[in-house]
Structure 1
Amino acid sequence: MPGITTSAIEVTHVSKHGFWLLLDSEELLVPFAEFPWFKRATIEQLTDVEWPSRGHLYWPQLDIDLSVESIRHPEAFPLVAKARR
């Protein structure tokens, strides 16, 4: 009997430009220019990320939900929220 399949997600690198997510074998850049609400987040907040379904990511400490497609193709999602100062 096969076990339960779990999806691996990890923040692999953080720089002043953004951070990289490893979703199974796919690595995606999350640039702060496109996703400004992450810019002032702590490492702890960035790395506390859940992958509840194949197309959805959630950062519980930041209360941020994102579509994986919005990271892959941010040009298809032109509305960008303003980061709080």
Structure 2
Amino acid sequence: MPGTTTLAVEVTHISKHGFWLLLADEELLVPFDQFPWFRKGTIEQISEVQWPTPDHLYWPGLDVDLSVQSIRNPDAFPLVSDAAG
């Protein structure tokens, strides 16, 4: 039984505005105003990221799944919440 393949991903910087991910040779900003699920995350929770497939990122400590495309083009993926409903 083969093991799970994961790609190399690294959080390179965290600031009050967001954090930067290094995906292979591409660096992407994940701003907290567009990705609010990370705002109250600890450094450990944000830094523990998995990249199981080319378009899928997962933060197990926060139980957050994101498409890489949603970081590259957040306007194509508007936030939707039924928290008020």
Calculate the TM-score normalised by the size of structure 1.
0.86
| CA shift digits 1:35-68 (9 cap, x unpaired) | 0110110000001000010000000010000000
How many pairs are equivalent? Answer: 79
Answering whether residue 11 of structure 2 is matched by residue 11 of structure 1, we say yes
Task: Output the TM-score relative to the length of structure 2.
Answer: 0.86
Backbone CA RMSD of aligned residues: 1.9
Question: Which consecutive unaligned segments of at least 5 residues does structure 2 have?
Answer: none
> What is the CA–CA distance in structure 2 between the aligned matches of 1:35 and 1:24, rounded to whole Å?
21
Q: Which runs of at least 4 in structure 1 moved beyond 6 Å after TM superposition? A: none
For residue 71 of structure 1, give the secondary structure of its aligned residue in structure 2. helix
Say if 1:40 and 1:7 are closer, same or farther in 2 by CA, change over 3 A.
Answer: same
Percent of matched pairs sharing the same residue: 69
Instruction: Describe the shift of the 1:80–1:31 C-alpha distance in structure 2 as closer, same or farther (beyond 3 A).
Output: farther
